Amino acid sequence: MLGRAIREQPRIFAVAVAGSVLFGSMVIASAYVVGGVVGKVVVPAIERGSVTRGALALAAAALFGISVLRVVGIFGRRLGAGYMQYRLQAAYRRRVTRRYLDLPLAWHHRNATGTLLSNANSDVEAAWYPIAPLPFAVGTLVMLVGAVVSLFLTDWALALVGLAVFPALFALNVVYSRRMAPRQARAQRLRAEVSGIAHESFDGALVVKTMGREAQETARFAGRAGELRDALIAVGRLRGVFDPMLETLPSLGTLAVLVVGAIRLNQGAIDVTELVSVAFLFTVLAFPVRAIGWVLAELPRSVAGWDRVRRVLDATGDMPYGTTVLDPAAPAPATLAFHDVHFGYEPAEAHLPGTQVLGEVSFTVPAGRTVALVGPTGSGKSTIASLAVRLVDPHTGTVTLDGVDLRELTAASLAGTVALVAQVPFVFDDTVRANITLDRAGIGDEEVWAALRLAEADGFVAALPDGLDTMVGERGTSLSGGQRQRLTLARALAGRPRLLVLDDATSAVDPRVEAAILAGLRAPADGGAPASILVVAYRRATIALADEVIYVEQGRVLARGTHAELLATVPGYADLVTAYEQAEQEREQNRTYDEVTPLTSGLEIEVDR
């Protein structure tokens, strides 16, 4: 992993290591300069009882010069290491996010949102934590080699002390890393779980509050947060045991040098200058040697974070696009066709069986026509809508657009030809204009208002305080459910798609407004070509507007025809539509669908007329 970091940022790493080597070289040099000052200037001055100004000035100049070079080395090391670390974190956040967007929805369904947030944030940060001390540690290794060579050149007995202390430091760090690894891995996993619970609780605030589950959700979060606290305390406790030991070893080495050095001094093997230089060298080496410990200490957490990041980067299930491009300027609506399509969802866990959803599905949405999908809950209607816009691919069979398999189209061509308005509307925390344009080229205010009129949304947008510049809040909390649906419909229409897929996209809209919207889509007021429409519907008024109705049950197409034909010939269809209509009438009698008062908490209640 460290090798990957160096290969990706070689120049910055080289600058940081050069600064660290310069610093380490000056540390060794300072030890011998201090020894020289003591042996050549201080001791003679004490013996003579006077100080030579020239010698004193030379000593001061040498110490000052070494200090300046050390500062330069520290600056290069810190700047390079920090720049390298933050560049890697930014790069891998982008890679993880890009990978999220490339992976199919089936993969996202198997992974909690909180875990994905943790992967892109804390896991990426943890993966590259060792980069900050890494150049310092590399420079320290160079410095240690230089120090050992210097010790051997000075005295073999003192060199043996160094050879005993330095390996002991490395061995202690290795033991520390092995004990720390499982603790850091558990802490990193718990970080993701805490993030997941928090995200789920906040995202489900409506359910939590209306069901009175605040205390239970708080307790659930507190329990996992307590586990994370205990895991981090275990990490801190282990660090508390090893840190003093890592600090003590160099000090013991200095003490051993003084003892052995005193003996060698009495034997005449070394002089005062060499003894002071070696003792000072051990003193100043204590801090740089800790840099190696910092890298080793961060490696367990880093590896745990990297494993979680790599799980995303190495995830399989890509849906590669082809190279075919449909004519973006083609005014004619598109033709959608399903040919013997089979599809099933993969299990959440490998040992569980998958879920078969669709089998032998074949039908066509002719150019410029409206086809309604009708069926009971769980019959596969939303899955068919997902296949139509290639959110998923069929296991067998093909889905074609103007005779071209969707898998052969480029991503841009598919997005420019087909638009989906999902069952649950999603609105960004931005202005009305930004939510509709999505920064797409060629969509100005004129096109925005045209799309709003077609979606029957121009009236309420014009009444907003700032019109198109009104901020709608997170997930559109300042808008009603019906307003959000019409806004997302306008977003899809602004791109002038040739095929429009509506997955129960007007369920929160008044039936009269819904009928006006569908009528406008079939015959645009601006004289433009109507789009082909595949609509998942349950209201009789919506179904009656369709040119053809596809009745789906248990993942299979059981019947097709006009609404009147199916009503007369298919009992299951007649029962379902009648039940829908009765429920609709009851709701209409008791409450409104399109007048909703947003609360400050972001929840919504429906207001009786």
Q: Torsion-angle region of residue 479: left (phi > 0), alpha (psi -120 to 50) or beta?
A: beta
Residues 74 and 120 sit within 8 Å (Cβ to Cβ): no
- pLDDT computed for residue 595 by the predictor: 43
**CB contact burial 243-261 (16+ within 10 A = b; e otherwise):** eeebeebbeebbebbbebb
Run of H or E including 560: strand 556-561
Tell me if residue 606 falls in helix, strand or coil.
strand
The tokens of 514 are what? 């819904």
**CB contact burial 398-431 (16+ within 10 A = b; e otherwise):** bbbbbebebbebeeebbebbbbbbbeebebeeeb
Q: What are the percentages of helix, strand and coil residues in the chain, rounded to 5?
A: 65, 10, 25
The tokens of 385 are what? 């809508």
**CB contact burial 2-16 (16+ within 10 A = b; e otherwise):** beebbeebeebbebb
The separation between the first and the last C-alpha atoms of the chain, rounded to the nearest angstrom, is: 64
Beta-carbon-side half-sphere exposure of residue 25 (alpha carbons within 13 Å): 11
pLDDT tens-digit readout, 237-261: 888 887 787 777 777 877 887 888 8
For the chain, the domains span: 336-423+497-590
- pLDDT computed for residue 289 by the predictor: 67
Kindly give the parts of the chain with pLDDT less than 50. 351, 592-609
Architecture category of domain 336-423+497-590 in CATH:
3-Layer(aba) Sandwich (3.40)
| pTM exceeding the 0.75 threshold for the entire prediction | no
* Residue 207: other Cβ atoms inside 10 A: 11
Question: How far is it, in rounded angstroms, from Cα 381 to Cα 554?
Answer: 10
Residues 427 and 479 sit within 8 Å (Cβ to Cβ): yes
- pLDDT computed for residue 87 by the predictor: 92
- pLDDT computed for residue 550 by the predictor: 92
DSSP structure string for 163-214: HHHHHHHHHHHHHHHHHHHHHHHHHHHHHHHHHHHHHHHHHTHHHHHHTT-H
pLDDT tens-digit readout, 13-35: 999 999 988 988 888 788 778 77
- pLDDT computed for residue 584 by the predictor: 64
